[in-house]
A = this chain, B = another copy of it.
Amino acid sequence: MTSGEFSLNDLPGSAGRMDILCRCVSSALFLSFGMRRDVNVHLLLLGEPEPGKIIRFEGLHLRYLNPDERSSGSLINKALLKNATELDTRSTPGVWIRKGDLKSLLASFEGRDLVYLREDGKDIRELAGEIRDPVFILGDHTGVTEEEEKQLLEAGAKIISVGPISLHSNHCITLIHNELDRVEAERGEIPGGANSRAEN
């Protein structure tokens, strides 16, 4: 959903499976000790009553986020209570909201490697070493529509998978991070360090 009128006590029901997005935010940003400061998360919200809002979490500036679902739910709620326009509005440190759709979101990633997760995609383990400055695109529990997929492929997105079995988006994010952490460690870089990873 796209209004702040939901209950933190019922994220799955009152908020249109907002619990899934909350777990994605947490999986994308949390390390055991500290946060992945090199990661940004974009949530593209297309539900009622005002479809077409983008909430951005910037790891580098983020504050007041804990790993539990209710914590990310609360920051999403605060963002949705802002009056969203075409320009970014900051709701809390490291969290911004604007109006937008998939097209405008993809346009903002121009020049970066787009990677779209689908069960029948190429194994991430064969590709992780090649992708630079990637943006990973994951659908929610209802998946991605045919029209959205067409836009992704036209924008040049590669299709990858993370394993032999269909998983929740937050679990996929954990698997992606692990793969990139391993690649960075092999290169002698510090995993969770300064390189940028974005997820949607």
Contact = CB atoms under 8 A, between A and B. Distances in A.
A32 B181 contact: no
24 contacts: A8-B9, A9-B9, A11-B68, A11-B70, A12-B68, A12-B71, A23-B23, A23-B67, A23-B68, A30-B171, A31-B166, A32-B165, A32-B167, A67-B168, A68-B69, A69-B69, A162-B178, A163-B178, A163-B185, A163-B191, A164-B184, A164-B191, A167-B178, A171-B177
Given A12-B66, A68-B11, A182 B167 contact: no
Contact of A69 (B70, B178, B182, B184): B70
A175 interface: yes
A192 to B, nearest CB: 5
The copy count of this chain in the complex is 2
Contacts of A31: 165-168
Interface of A: 8-9, 11-12, 19-20, 23, 27, 30-33, 66-71, 141, 162-168, 171, 174-175, 177-178, 181-182, 184-185, 191-192
Closest 3 CB pairs of A and B: A164-B185, A32-B166, A19-B68
B163 A181 contact: yes
